[in-house]
Chains A and B, each alone.
Chain A
Amino acid sequence: MAEPQPLVKPSDDLTTGLTTDRWFDHGLRGRRVTWIAWDSPFRATRLKVGDVILEADGVPCDPARTDLAEEFMVGNFAEGRGLAQAGRKAGEPRRLSVWRDHERFEVEAPIAVENFYYDAEGRRALAPGGPQKLANDGFGSAWSGWDEELTKKLSSVLDQGWRRGSFNSRQVLADLAGHEPRVRHLAEHYAGPYAEAMAADLAAALESVRGTLWPAEGIDLSWRERGERLAEEVRRAAVEAEKEFTAGLGERVIPAAPAPDPVESDPEAFAGKVVHLERVGPRSMKMDAGHPWYYFGDLRSGWWFLDANSPGCQAFHLAVENYRQLVDMSVPLTYRFYAEVLPLPRMMVVDGRVATGLTLALAAAMVADRLFITVPREPGAGGARFAGEELLAEGALDLPPADAAPRAVVEAAISALKLGRRELWRALFADWRLDYHWNGAISYSPISFNSESNFFYAWDFARKSLSKEVYDLRIVGEGPVTTVLAPPEPGAGPTVEECRIEVEHVGRFDDEYRSFRQVGLHRMWPVQRVDGGPWRLAVLQGL
């Protein structure tokens, strides 16, 4: 009887079974664990994917240290060679100093050797007894390819996944769920440590990407309901106000087309009449040598002109902006104007041709059938108001006190976003900036370089997200306050402290509220202060 084929053949190469990458953060330098092989002795320790190894056997794992061979560092591609050169032997302990979530701890496991695995037929396998590397058991790809692919995906979740800018938790969830049948097949046909490790890793990753479950009763949607309720109440008020307004116009309404030519007709004959102008928008506006005008009409049906800089129009635009900020950022800018005819003829050049028409004064406007704005003949300090605006008086917010904690600043920003308090939100950002260089060095700029347009887009994105997929934001972590920049001697430059607040975004999936992450949503909210001043948001980000 032939000798049974060995299922494991050890090599001479030493290994810890770890894969690591460079890590720089807040002056902390080390190697971040991106994967722990299923057969790594470190599987039995506290060490987890995502942990940062600061030292291995008392030697710093600082990638910036040019006196250390980075390739020999723990988990790097030549670690085994480094261990061999250092005279280390398999079975000897490898002691790692690890950092995780502001905690430092030690783990220890024996140095292992690289193993080759075979199935009962002597073919190369992923684990003792199988599966064969090149077989696929009826699945779409070979086991070796699948293992590599899934390992990569699991690593991307378990290794800081939620903190990656490009991480899309729901997309990853759907993707990983597609691997469950094959992992079950693995357990059924190749039971053993490899199958168990893969099942455990997949379960852990799935659990992670499903996101934290937040009990519905703990989710405060009053701000959102308030927003929706307000939007609906304002819409209803708008419909009523428009009805009332148009009923009051009586015989004053004249068709907008054809528009009279004030040379051919007496302008006085049209004074005080009112025209409806449909489908007006920012595109109806054109510049006349630096002065904005709304133009309505064409060469065939005549022209009406409305001064977009007139007090009435300015008051109207402010009222629309007010609504956008307080109620609904996504309101489309399509207007129905009610404008009173003034006996003032104008001759202007439109698209290179001379156009003659009468001037209008904006009397009222319906915006996207959602808000109705009445414009007083002479808008004073009160300006124009939209119907139902008085409903928004509730919910005033103030800037947090100068000594407020970092967490309070983030909370204030979240509240300001929810309630549409743009100025408050804007005031919570730092007006300085730190630049982080590739080698871990940090430099201070006395200006933030954040343009107003950047603020606009961040706010716009955040408000839109809050009206759609983001139901709440929860602070789930608060890092320690660290000094990220200190002058070489007191008073020789600013001292900048930083605290990172970790925020989860809550979405609604299958009638459950769960944390989720997608492009544009930020989990880490760094907050800084300079020379003990007030804490401010250090990075311009919407949500």
Chain B
Amino acid sequence: MSYDRRSAELALTFSSEVEDARELTFYLPRLSDYAKRCGAVLDELVKAVSSVDLSDSREAEEWANIRDRQLADAIKAKPDLSQYRETPSLALLAFHTRMQLDEAAFLGGLGKSNVGDEIDRIAAVARNLETKTADLEKIWKETVDRDGDFDKQAEETAKEIAKIVDEAIETAAANHRTLLESFAELSKINDKIPEGMKDISDALPGLLGLAVKVLLKGLANSTYFWAKMQERLIEREGKLRETFAKEANLLLVFSETRKEVEEFVKTTNFEQAEAAFEQAEKELDELVGAMKTSGQKDDLGRFRDRVLDALEGVLDAAERRHDEFVTKHRSKFFGPLSSQVTEELIESSRWGSLAREIDSRTLHDRLSDLHSKNLFSVSVGGLRPEVREYIEKEVRSAFDEATKVILEIDRKVTGQPPEKQIEEQRKLLESRLR
């Protein structure tokens, strides 16, 4: 028998105080049976702690049920003098009375103990940490996957924008070529303009009709192209902005999840499991302290040690789950974010390449470059100065008009320079992770 001190103590005291053989025959077996049942109460309770199922949220109830059932059995087994047909001796009465009072401390103390609640608290910490660990893994995967999708979409859109800009530049270059050809045509008719014309403007429409026609046709083509390109760019730009917004929203969700996990960590952590263990230890110590006899104290002391040993197993399980939780999710879902996690979500290197992708092909710069460097680099030598002056004036005016249209489109499309847009997005994402 595991808990035999109280039993031996009762038997010894009884034998030394009660001498009547009939009383011994009547009382001692009942006393022994009662002591056995008290031992069974303690055994069953230790067994209940040893077999705690972390997935069961009703361990405390189960513990209380076992306790109540076993205690009820023990109470029923208490020696009952009313069953004794003889008149009990004073010695028996005195022993019985003292035993009743001492046992009330044992039965009442154990009956009111709340160790089961502490078992539940430890088990709940372990269970919740396990669930949260698995859930957060899924949430992290979902976050990274969706973030990756947005990155891919942004890159594709950037490439599309770059392609459209390339096409624009190519078209502009084609227009230049047309102009160059026009100028070549103008060189050919140079000699046909009469010398010393007073009012060159009268002759020019007729003389230069062909050249101007070609020029205007080129410009008309150019304007049509830019209108179509505008639609394409606006669409792509909208797509990029939308992708950026979604990515920012995703990080907002992540940030809210982090707040919630911070809260979870405050309410569910190993320290709490340890506190529950300490509380159980304190309650068990108090229970032992409340016992009236050394036999009870010895038995309950052993019971306390066994319960705590078993409970340590539950605590270890909680610690393992806590460690796993911390290993997997610290610096990601709680605590300061690690640079690795930040990089995984923001990918600063990507921003550089994305910016370069769009920046290096900025429409504004490239058109300006094209216009300033290339437009009048063609040779118009051979034209008389007044003719050349006239043509230059008209063509520049027409081209300036076209450039204005193009740049207006460019402005409408981007609203702000792409590099600035990208930089702002990067800052927004970083702020969401703060």
Contacts and interface: CB of A to CB of B under 8 A. Distances in A.
16 contacts: A66-B85, A262-B252, A263-B246, A288-B135, A289-B128, A290-B124, A345-B249, A347-B253, A354-B138, A441-B80, A443-B76, A445-B72, A445-B111, A449-B68, A487-B100, A489-B93
A182 interface: no
Interface stretch (A88-96, A166-174, A415-423, A432-440): A432-440
Contacts of B383: none
Contacts of A393: none
B182 to A, nearest CB: 51
Question: What does DSSP make chain B's interface, helix, strand, loop or mixed?
Answer: helix
Contacts of B81: 488
Contacts of B252: 262, 267, 345
B143 interface: yes
Contact of B100 (A262, A356, A493): A493
Interface residues of B, number: 50
Nearest to A445: B75
A290 B97 CA distance: 48
A493 B80 CA distance: 14
B53 to A, nearest CB: 16
Given A266-B245, A435-B72, 4 more contacts: A345-B256, A441-B83, A446-B111, A449-B72
A344 interface: yes
Contacts of B93: 488-489
A492 interface: yes
A288 B93 CA distance: 59
A347 B97 contact: no
A442 B146 CA distance: 71
B64 interface: yes
Contact of B101 (A66, A439, A442, A493): A493
A222 interface: no
A447 B97 contact: no
B322 interface: no
Contacts, number: 111
Interface string A507-540: 0000000000000000000000000000000000
Nearest to B108: A446
Nearest to A447: B111
A348 interface: yes
Interface in B94-145: 96-97, 100-101, 104, 107-108, 111-112, 124, 127-129, 131-132, 134-135, 138-139, 141-143
Contacts of A492: 97, 100-101
A356 B138 contact: no
Interface string B18-62: 000000000000000000000000000000000000000000000
Given A288-B135, A289-B135, A449 B111 contact: yes
Contacts of B268: 289-290
Contacts of A451: 64
Contacts of A289: 128-129, 131-132, 135, 264, 268
Given A346-B257, A349-B138, A354-B139, A443 B78 contact: yes
Contacts of B129: 289
Interface string B237-256: 00000000110011011101
B152 to A, nearest CB: 15
B253 A356 contact: yes
Given A263-B146, A289-B264, A349 B107 contact: no
B108 A447 contact: yes
B339 interface: no
Contacts of B134: 349
A484 to B, nearest CB: 12
A255 B124 CA distance: 37
Contacts of A489: 93, 97
Interface in B65-92: 68, 71-72, 75-76, 78, 80-83, 85, 88
A264 interface: yes
Given A289-B132, A443-B75, A492-B101, A264 B249 contact: yes
Contacts of A262: 249, 252-253
Interface of A: 66, 262-267, 288-291, 344-349, 353-354, 356, 435, 437, 439-443, 445-447, 449, 451, 487-489, 492-493
Nearest to A440: B82
Contacts of B83: 439, 441
A288 B256 CA distance: 15
A349 B249 contact: no
A446 B111 CA distance: 9
B47 to A, nearest CB: 20
B76 to A, nearest CB: 6
Contacts of A345: 249, 252-253, 256
* Residue of A262, A288, A289, A439 with most partner-chain B CB within 10 A: A289
B401 interface: no
Contacts of A66: 85
A443 B80 contact: yes
Nearest to B251: A263
Nearest to A307: B260
B268 to A, nearest CB: 6
B196 to A, nearest CB: 72
Contacts of A266: 245, 249
A390 to B, nearest CB: 36
Given A437-B76, A441-B82, A346 B256 contact: yes
Contacts of A267: 249, 252
Contacts of A488: 81, 88, 93, 96-97
* Residue of A265, A345, A439 with most partner-chain B CB within 10 A: A345
B97 A493 contact: yes
A23 to B, nearest CB: 17
Contacts of A446: 104, 107-108, 111
Contacts of B68: 449
A445 B100 CA distance: 11
Contact of A347 (B71, B104, B143): B143
A262 B252 CA distance: 9
Nearest to A493: B100
Top 10 A-B pairs ranked by shortest CB distance?
A492-B97, A446-B108, A290-B128, A349-B135, A289-B132, A289-B128, A345-B253, A354-B142, A447-B111, A441-B80
Nearest to B259: A344
Contacts of B88: 488
A346 B249 contact: no
Interface string B259-291: 010001001100000000000000000000000
A32 B246 CA distance: 85
A347 B82 contact: no
A234 B265 CA distance: 43
Given A267-B249, A289-B268, A445-B75, A344 B256 contact: yes
Contacts of A347: 139, 142-143, 253-254, 256-257
A473 B224 CA distance: 95
A47 to B, nearest CB: 30
* Residue of B80, B112, B267, B268 with most partner-chain A CB within 10 A: B80
A230 B253 CA distance: 46
A117 to B, nearest CB: 45
Contacts of B246: 263-264
Contact of B264 (A265, A291, A344, A442): A291
Contacts of A437: 76, 80
A66 to B, nearest CB: 8
B81 to A, nearest CB: 7
B139 A290 contact: no
B291 to A, nearest CB: 15
Interface string B379-413: 00000000000000000000000000000000000
A290 B127 contact: yes
A445 B88 CA distance: 23
A354 B107 CA distance: 50
Nearest to A359: B256
Nearest to B246: A263
Contacts of B142: 347, 354, 356
A467 to B, nearest CB: 29
A45 B101 CA distance: 49
